[in-house]
Structure 1
Amino acid sequence: MPPRRKGGKGRRAARPGAGRISIDELPDEVLHHVLSFLPAQEAVRTCVLARRWRHLWRSATGLRISCGPENEAAVNVKKLRDFVDHLFLLRGGSPLDTCQFNLLDINEDDDDTRRIHLWIRHVLMCRVRVLSLNMTWYSECWTKCFSLDGLPLVSQHLKRLELSSLYLDDSFLDFSSCPALEVIEIKECEIPDLDRILSRSLKSLSITGCCEFSEFHRFHVYAPNLVSLWLEVFIGRVPILDRMPSLVEAVVRIGRPDDFCHLADSGNCEDEHCPGCYGADGDTGCVLLQGLSEAQSLVLISDTKMFIFRRDLKCCPIFSNLKTLLLNEYWCVPDDFSALTCILEHSPVLEKLTLQLFCEGPKSNVHMKGSPDPKERSNAISEHLKVVEVKCEVVDDRVINILKFLNKLAIYSYKFQF
């Protein structure tokens, strides 16, 4: 008689993979979302997997359309034309959550340009919520920004817009016909002819990288409901920030743009031919600080040769909501510390001050943390100020002078970290 198998009579061995859920058991809505993470060409190829997959790609919630350089040669969009045209034709008006165009080093061809513009308008008609555009012309020597058409964006559904390596003008950046738009990210773009960025719905604005601003005039940022701002200016004139009563946090970094003068620290050298002080059209009043005055958290970093912040301090607003402030060495020169004193006197509810001194980036070798003496607190600082941090690469004479100034404000009792 053969030996009896363990497990009892009639019990069968479990099938390999039993208890696991196959991807085919997922609902269509989940598979549509999964397909949105694939490049468009790969998403379409899933049609050969099984009968059920034959048409799933048509309703994918996202599209990733890209082409890039091969062997350092220009990419011809014509190779992509038939695929994308048929893709949009077969998708029809299926709604999109996200769409990404990543077209790098493409030929500068009028037909290709018109086709790309049509693609962008088509995805807007598909009620896309997040649109990302990163496109460059082919050049043997440098990257050349792709020029968008002069038509404004019109969408009732667009919530997030990411723009990279593009040439932008007033028409495209007039978002008055995009009432749901909340987030804009602009990176490495050319905007020399821009007069304004206009949006009442915008809550987050980021302009970073080496964007090229105009050297002859300042454009206006009009976004009264903005909550978060990140602004970097390294080429051209610093833009004018209009009032932002809802602003919570802002980071402003000024590199080596056209707002500098070898003769005056505050942009008033009295030489009417000076391009730095008098070279911008319609340049009157406060440029940055008035628009930032209602923020709760500020990071203000500038090259020491720039004058725009010091000029603004002549009509310095009250930072009535400001609780955390980070400054670099720009605010501590010249040695009279007038710029630092002014902004501290105009920050009545400040709780934390960080001085990031002579550092290449946010990291530092030396970290000192001090606090004001409540019995000897200076009237020049907020009664709410609890923490003062000083970060630097090395404690040299420049840093020691700043510590001496803080000591006059009764800020000491430092704890060191290395």
Structure 2
Amino acid sequence: MELVFDGGGAGGANNWRSQIREEVRVSRVSVLSEALMQALSPDKPETLTDLLNVAVRLESLIFGVAVSEVDYKYKLYTRLDHLEGISSDNHLEDISSDDHFEDISSDDHFEEISSDYQMLEPSTATLLRGIFSDPQSQSIQVQSNLHRVLSGGNTKATGNEEKPCCDDNDRISVLHESILHCIMSFMPAQDVVRTSMLFRRSPPLWTSAPCLDIDIDHFDMDRVKFNKFAKSLFEGRGNANTLDKLRLHSFAIDAAKYWIGDAIRLHKVKSIDFTENTRWEAFYLDPEAISFSSKYLQTVKLTNVIIVTSVFDQLSRECESLENLQLADSTLCSPEISSSSLKTLEIINCLVLNHLLIRTGKLVSLCFKDTRCGCTPKYIVRTTSAVILCDLSNAKSIELPTPVRHVAFDRMTPGCPMFISLTSLILGEWCLSNKFAPLACFLKHSPMLENLDLKLKFDCEAQKQPLQMAEGILFQAKSLKKVTIHCAEEEDRLPVLKAILLANARCVKHIDVKTY
């Protein structure tokens, strides 16, 4: 395979990137690829993912964000240490049996598994525990539990066993399909398949279940078993049945991109929640395999992924019903998020590689924050890319506590406040710069603002904004009623900050202080 590298910056004799030979980068990709192999499955040839492509993307990312050759090497060695930690972690070892889900409609799927029933009602939990009991007493317990649920506990005792009042009636099979699907929506996908075998339906109910929860944690992190089950599940559903919700939590399996693509293209899914295991490298949403163009998608949650411009364009312009978008622990390679339908946008702990323009006229809630510090695992860099806010006249809540990003404003004209509907605002250290200029700008264009939270930096963070005096700092906050400051216990700037806020926000009589 020929490796093609991005230059990562402008050329020239003074650019440190131009001094690193390509063969050096190839050798480092090889080292990363070997480390990825050891972390993933050192004793198994079936990796289920192209580790060389993962290594190339990882090296290119580090090469692009590093500020010097020393920083480049440091970030590489830090990531190698992280991968070595994964390979020695007992939680990622194969601890499950050798049985696999070759045929998801066979009786072998009644093997006992551990499940979490805390989210279900007690009666439903009892039903499910009966389904996965000892195979020898399975039939009696399942029938007894099902009848107990449906009869509201009205049973008659004969000897040492409980039997339902109506022994000859199959009470569960006469329930409407929508009720059975509602019950199944609380269950992991493999439990849905097994439970479907109890109902006298053809085709089996799992083939039309509107909600699928496929989580590798339910397979004890056995990637081979998880891959075979998910593949059989999607193949068995056919193309006719629609999906309301897909929750897919995977771990280094390339086929996940095809499952997501099928859910959108064939099953007209309305809600997608995809997570790549956060201890592994970010999952590349390949635009050639996944098309997010859909008139049915309403909610998209993506965690630990790489999102390129073409994917963002589809989410912004070709999803006419999209209202909720959450991006977490991901790498964003797009200059703009614009949507005519989006109402809620959350960007949490993401690496932004370009200046980002947020242009969403119907947006009601915006959250853009980074809760990590430099010691966070997998940490590469805190981006200084600008976040430009544009056309947010419907936003009622904005959260921008991230202290390392520069926030700019666009299309603000006199007499036409940009945040005319804003009532709740959370900002970080950055709003105190330049004599409170960012905060003053927000307040000037937020005539309805009532609640303001300021989150100052942690002690481990450097370059705090200096506050030596309150004179000369003026801004208006006519509607502001409540101010809360979040800071460290030893925050020495607190008295000056409180004095500045009380002097300018005349309706605020008291400022709450919450320490980290």
Normalised-by-shorter TM-score class: 0.5 to 0.7
SS for the counterpart of 1:240 is strand
Indicate how the Cα distance of structure 1 residues 39 and 198 shifts in structure 2: closer, same or farther if over 3 A, else same.
same
**1:356 counterpart residue number:** 485
**1:286 counterpart residue number:** 409
Q: Which whole-Å deviations, capped at 9, do the CAs of 1:304-325 have from their partners, x for residues lacking one?
A: 6984995646866532332332
**1:46 counterpart residue number:** 195
Indicate how the Cα distance of structure 1 residues 204 and 414 shifts in structure 2: closer, same or farther if over 3 A, else same.
closer
**2:387 counterpart residue number:** 239
Aligned runs of 1:116-155 on 2, under 5 Å?
A: 116-124=256-264, 125-136=266-277, 143-151=280-288, 152-155=291-294
Cα distance in 1, alignment partners of residues 285 and 193 from structure 2: 28
Compute the displacement of 1:357 (Å).
4.6
Compute the displacement of 1:15 (Å).
3.3
1:335 alignment partner, one of 447, 462, 468: 468
Indicate how the Cα distance of structure 1 residues 332 and 413 shifts in structure 2: closer, same or farther if over 3 A, else same.
farther
Cα distance in 1, alignment partners of residues 499 and 389 from structure 2: 34
SS for the counterpart of 2:310 is coil
SS for the counterpart of 1:231 is strand
Compute the displacement of 1:332 (Å).
8.9
Give the number of the structure whose residues are more often helix, by fraction: 2
Cα distance in 1, alignment partners of residues 472 and 486 from structure 2: 15
Q: Which whole-Å deviations, capped at 9, do the CAs of 1:35-87 have from their partners, x for residues lacking one?
A: 1222212211123324348712112110112224988xx8545x444433332
Range with bigger deviation, 31-40 or 287-296: 287-296
**2:453 counterpart residue number:** 326
**2:311 counterpart residue number:** 172
Indicate how the Cα distance of structure 1 residues 52 and 201 shifts in structure 2: closer, same or farther if over 3 A, else same.
same
**1:187 counterpart residue number:** 328
**2:425 counterpart residue number:** 299
Indicate how the Cα distance of structure 1 residues 405 and 91 shifts in structure 2: closer, same or farther if over 3 A, else same.
closer
Q: Which amino acid aligns with 2:230?
A: V
Aligned runs of 1:17-166 on 2, under 5 Å?
A: 23-24=172-173, 26-52=175-201, 55-68=204-217, 76-77=223-224, 79-92=225-238, 93-104=240-251, 106=252, 112-113=253-254, 115-124=255-264, 125-136=266-277, 143-151=280-288, 152-166=291-305
TM-score where L is the length of structure 1 = 0.65
Cα distance in 1, alignment partners of residues 513 and 311 from structure 2: 49
Is the Cα contact below 8 Å between 1:170 and 1:197 reproduced in 2? Answer: no
Is the Cα contact below 8 Å between 1:46 and 1:53 reproduced in 2? Answer: no
Q: Which whole-Å deviations, capped at 9, do the CAs of 1:191-240 have from their partners, x for residues lacking one?
A: 1x2211121100000111x21112xx411112111011111146212421
SS for the counterpart of 2:453 is strand
Q: Which amino acid aligns with 2:352?
A: F
RMSD: 4.0
Cα distance in 2, alignment partners of residues 297 and 185 from structure 1: 22
Cα distance in 1, alignment partners of residues 271 and 360 from structure 2: 19
Give the number of the structure whose residues are more often strand, by fraction: 1
**2:337 counterpart residue number:** 197
Is the Cα contact below 8 Å between 1:247 and 1:292 reproduced in 2? Answer: no
Indicate how the Cα distance of structure 1 residues 135 and 324 shifts in structure 2: closer, same or farther if over 3 A, else same.
same
Q: Which amino acid aligns with 1:90?
A: G
Cα distance in 2, alignment partners of residues 397 and 248 from structure 1: 32
TM-score where L is the length of structure 2 = 0.54
**2:98 counterpart residue number:** none
**1:224 counterpart residue number:** 361
SS for the counterpart of 1:144 is coil
Cα distance in 2, alignment partners of residues 48 and 69 from structure 1: 20
Cα distance in 2, alignment partners of residues 89 and 230 from structure 1: 37
Compute the displacement of 1:116 (Å).
2.1
Cα distance in 2, alignment partners of residues 339 and 163 from structure 1: 45
Instruction: Say if 2:398 is the partner of 1:250.
Output: yes
Aligned runs of 1:406-417 on 2, under 5 Å?
A: 408=503
Q: Which amino acid aligns with 2:356?
A: F
Compute the displacement of 1:14 (Å).
7.5
Indicate how the Cα distance of structure 1 residues 14 and 29 shifts in structure 2: closer, same or farther if over 3 A, else same.
closer
Cα distance in 1, alignment partners of residues 344 and 304 from structure 2: 20
Q: Percent identity?
A: 21
Q: Which amino acid aligns with 2:345?
A: L
Compute the displacement of 1:295 (Å).
3.9
Range with bigger deviation, 158-167 or 90-99: 90-99
Indicate how the Cα distance of structure 1 residues 339 and 302 shifts in structure 2: closer, same or farther if over 3 A, else same.
farther
Indicate how the Cα distance of structure 1 residues 39 and 338 shifts in structure 2: closer, same or farther if over 3 A, else same.
farther
Segments of structure 1 that go 5 or more residues without pairing to the other structure are 1-12, 107-111, 260-282, 360-392
Cα distance in 1, alignment partners of residues 487 and 189 from structure 2: 47
SS for the counterpart of 2:260 is helix
Q: Which amino acid aligns with 1:207?
A: I
Cα distance in 2, alignment partners of residues 135 and 339 from structure 1: 50
Is the Cα contact below 8 Å between 1:286 and 1:312 reproduced in 2? Answer: no
